[in-house]
Chains A and B, each alone.
Chain A
Amino acid sequence: MAATAPSSAAIAIPGQLLGPASKFQPGPGTHIHESNLYSSLLGLVHVTQPVKAPGPVKRLNKITPAPAPAELPTISVSRSAVSDKRETLPEVGNTVLCRVIRITPRQAVVAILICGETVLDAEWQGLIRVQDVRATEKDRVKIYESFRPGDIVRAEVISLGDQANYYLSTSRNELGVIMATSEAGNTMFPVNWKEYRDPETGFSEPRKVAKPY
């Protein structure tokens, strides 16, 4: 049954009533249904008091609006003890680091490893289509000269895609291959925007190279 006064040690199950929306601000792990806050997850309930902004001195004849939403305490439910740790997922516009799994003439299949600065818990599959590899001369891109399996690529999420894949793009200068291994097995260093070179054998291999920061 619903807890009347949620405390920081209380456990909430999905669907449990947490309080009215007029008293609390919804945080992560909660949702609003018919002006009530319900928990979405199984976890600990946290209430964070709002930062009190220094307001003007109250005047008796001034009409002040109802308390702004920022002044309500925020209630959130999280799985672990740390109240603000959530599973990060790639969003549209995020820069991600991924490893190339497979290439076909029309797309490169990648596994997204890092989103922003966070290492993801699970590897999500992404797709870099041939028209999203470069900004110029999109119809003459050859995937074999842009990526190879095993490369580490910095890309940007352009779409959440369908059930199987995110859609990524490397069409800016700063996006592209940041680490590559040569056919001989050595780590290569970049020469220009379309070449990596093996320091031991001296052979160059074509890639779409990311501009170093």
Chain B
Amino acid sequence: MAATEQPIVLPGDAIDPSLIPTHKKQPLRLGPGLRHIPPSYIVPTVAGQLVTDQKKNSMWIEYNSTRYIPSANDLVIGQVQRSATDLYYVNLSPYTSNAMLPHLAFEGATKKTRPQLAAGALVYARVTLANRHMDAELECVSATTGKAEGLGPLVGGMAFDVSLGLARRLLMARSREAGGVEVLELLGAEGLAFETAVGRNGRVWVSSDSAKTIVLVGRALRETDEGDLGVEKQRKLVKKLIRGMR
């Protein structure tokens, strides 16, 4: 990785104009972490690595943080705090206001047949409405198809907290090449049977028949996160953990 190509920037830094991608037809698109002040001033607002994509003519900043700010179409894992007349109050991150999940936003839910979620239950939901003036709103069903597509209550298992950067890399389509995280695939390849759900708000839910597996996966995630391990080190970590288990 050439240092000049993907520099680390601090908020307010001037960006080298040679790094800004150009394209004949598409306008430049700015992703998270960058702010455009007309007419031509682009300034980072967070500390992180500046990433550019020539093909899509876009640039953004990859940064890590622990405070989740809801944005639309994110998949999140929330914990039900309490139930009101026709919605659930779901907590996405500690010490923030609750997001709202309507009772009818589940697959096949009508006024007569509602899901019964107790306080403390985990749900895998998508953020429908998020802006800085209002509390976030969630749904557990796809608005277009009407099917759950993996969303809904998460039964059993355990949720672990990870940093937002690791959650984002786990959710990438090609997490090994693009995100550099392979630990879950490696653990699966070693024969462990478990299922996971990753929430963009920094929570990973792991479920398995054996409690030992759940703890092992959780530990692997935490050590990858805290040690900021690359793919090679993840392999070694997985081998060490499997050896310790057997």
B133 near A105 with CB under 8 A, answer no
Give the distance to chain A from B121, nearest Cβ to Cβ, in Å.
23
| Given contact pairs A144-B129, A144-B131, A201 touches B38 in the complex (Cβ within 8 A) | yes
Interface on chain A toward B: helix, strand, loop, or mixed SS? loop
B38 near A200 with CB under 8 A, answer yes
* CB nearest neighbor in B for A150: B133
A144 near B133 with CB under 8 A, answer yes
Shortest 6 CB-CB distances between A and B: which pairs?
A: A149-B133, A103-B133, A103-B134, A201-B38, A148-B133, A144-B131
**Given the complex of chains A and B, what is the CA–CA distance between A105 and B100 in angstroms?**
10
Which residues of chain B come closer than 8 Å to A105, judged between CB atoms? 100, 129, 134, 137
Which residues of chain B come closer than 8 Å to A149, judged between CB atoms? 133
Which residues of chain B come closer than 8 Å to A201, judged between CB atoms? 38
| B129, B131, B133, most chain A CB atoms within 10 A | B133
* CB nearest neighbor in A for B100: A105
A104 near B38 with CB under 8 A, answer no
Give the distance to chain B from A128, nearest Cβ to Cβ, in Å.
15
Which residues of chain B come closer than 8 Å to A104, judged between CB atoms? 134-135
Interface size class on chain A is 10 to 19
* CB nearest neighbor in B for A148: B133
| B100, B134, B137, most chain A CB atoms within 10 A | B134
Give the distance to chain B from A135, nearest Cβ to Cβ, in Å.
24
Give the distance to chain B from A36, nearest Cβ to Cβ, in Å.
52
Give me 18 A-to-B residue pairs in the complex whose CB atoms sit less than 8 angstroms apart, sorted by A's number.
Answer: A102-B133, A103-B133, A103-B134, A104-B134, A104-B135, A105-B100, A105-B129, A105-B134, A105-B137, A143-B134, A144-B129, A144-B131, A144-B133, A144-B134, A148-B133, A149-B133, A200-B38, A201-B38
Which residues of chain A come closer than 8 Å to B133, judged between CB atoms? 102-103, 144, 148-149
**Given the complex of chains A and B, what is the CA–CA distance between A140 and B172 in angstroms?**
35
* CB nearest neighbor in B for A142: B129
Which residues of chain A come closer than 8 Å to B100, judged between CB atoms? 105
**Given the complex of chains A and B, what is the CA–CA distance between A102 and B97 in angstroms?**
15
Which residues of chain B come closer than 8 Å to A143, judged between CB atoms? 134
The digit string for B124-161, where 1 denotes a CB below 8 A from any CB of A, is 00000101011101000000000000000000000000
* CB nearest neighbor in B for A202: B38
Which residues of chain B come closer than 8 Å to A102, judged between CB atoms? 133
**Given the complex of chains A and B, what is the CA–CA distance between A41 and B81 in angstroms?**
51
**Given the complex of chains A and B, what is the CA–CA distance between A148 and B131 in angstroms?**
11
Residues from 91 to 117 in A contacting B, C-beta threshold 8 Å = 102-105
**Given the complex of chains A and B, what is the CA–CA distance between A162 and B54 in angstroms?**
59
**Given the complex of chains A and B, what is the CA–CA distance between A27 and B59 in angstroms?**
72
